[in-house]
Amino acid sequence: MIELKSQREINIIRQNGSIVASTLSYLKEKIKPGIKTIELDCWAEELIRSKNAIPAFKGYRGFPGNICVSVNEEVVHGIPGKRVLREGDIVSVDVGVLKDGFYADGARTFPVGEVSPEAKKLMEVTRNSLEAGIAQARSGNRIGDISFAVQSLVESNGYSVVRELTGHGIGRRMHEDELNVPNFGVPGTGMLLKNGMTMAIEPMVNAGTYMIKTLKDNWTVVTGDGMLSAHFEHTIAITSNGGDILTLEG
């Protein structure tokens, strides 16, 4: 059963979401050629804990990092480590925060130095597809309306949406598994959206095939053809006017 959140609970998620957003903005300024992905992880942990919050991914289902850092063909769940960012890379950073019993989750893809026009377009389309999905996240609509909005924008630009991974309900748990938010679907189908629902919408968009595979570390997901992937995510609350974005800087 889907738990509908009170306004007080949504406000707690919003406060946590502001920590997610400020962490992503802070890391954006740090990302440059020569930086190791583990450095981003350390900076994120320091900032999150300075807000008396917990990095939600650390130890979640055994994940070893404080954040996920995925480079180029890595779609999601990249483990921070010794990899050095290079000019022209794109890097997806996913941040989760736990505080006062509730979670917030957000992600952005950043350029490392100057990137190719193709990479810039991929990031722009992915970000725009997230906004298109959020616009459909209003009470009375259905999950399929969000999914279709994302998919149609992505595919009209010649890209593909990852199908094996989805957005998710979020609140007292990082993943409220009763609620899945695919990035492809048929409008007018799926769960009815109601005020008080909270969810993470997160298009994962590949330049080539939608097929993915998981590396031997059992975490890092990469594109099936080695082409670039981008990832943008917001935690939102359903309202009658569309998604209320909870992962913005306060």
Kindly report, residue by residue over 80-95, the tens digit of the pLDDT: 999 999 999 999 999 9
Q: What is the pLDDT of residues 187-224, one digit of tens each?
A: 999 999 999 999 999 999 999 999 999 999 999 999 99
* Torsion sign (Cα): 96, 61, 223, 166: negative
Question: Which tens digit of pLDDT belongs to each residue from 25-50?
Answer: 999 999 999 999 999 999 999 999 99
pLDDT of residue 130: 98
Gap between the Cα atoms of 167 and 191, Å rounded: 14
Between the alpha carbon of residue 167 and those of residues 44, 81, 95, 116, the distances in Å are 22, 25, 14, 28
Amino acid found at 121: K
Give the span between the Cα atoms of 10 and 211, in whole angstroms.
35
**Model pLDDT, residue 1:** 82
Residue pair 137/244 in contact (Cβ under 8 Å)? The answer is: no
The pLDDT score that the predictor gives to residue 18 is 98
Please say whether the dihedral angle defined by the alpha carbons of residues 118, 121, 123 and 125, taken in this order, is positive or negative.
negative
Q: pTM above 0.85?
A: yes
pLDDT at 57: 98
**Exposed / middle / buried, residue 158 (Cβ in 10 Å: 0-12, 13-18, 19+):** exposed
Domains annotated for the chain, with CATH where assigned, are 7-244 (3.90.230.10)
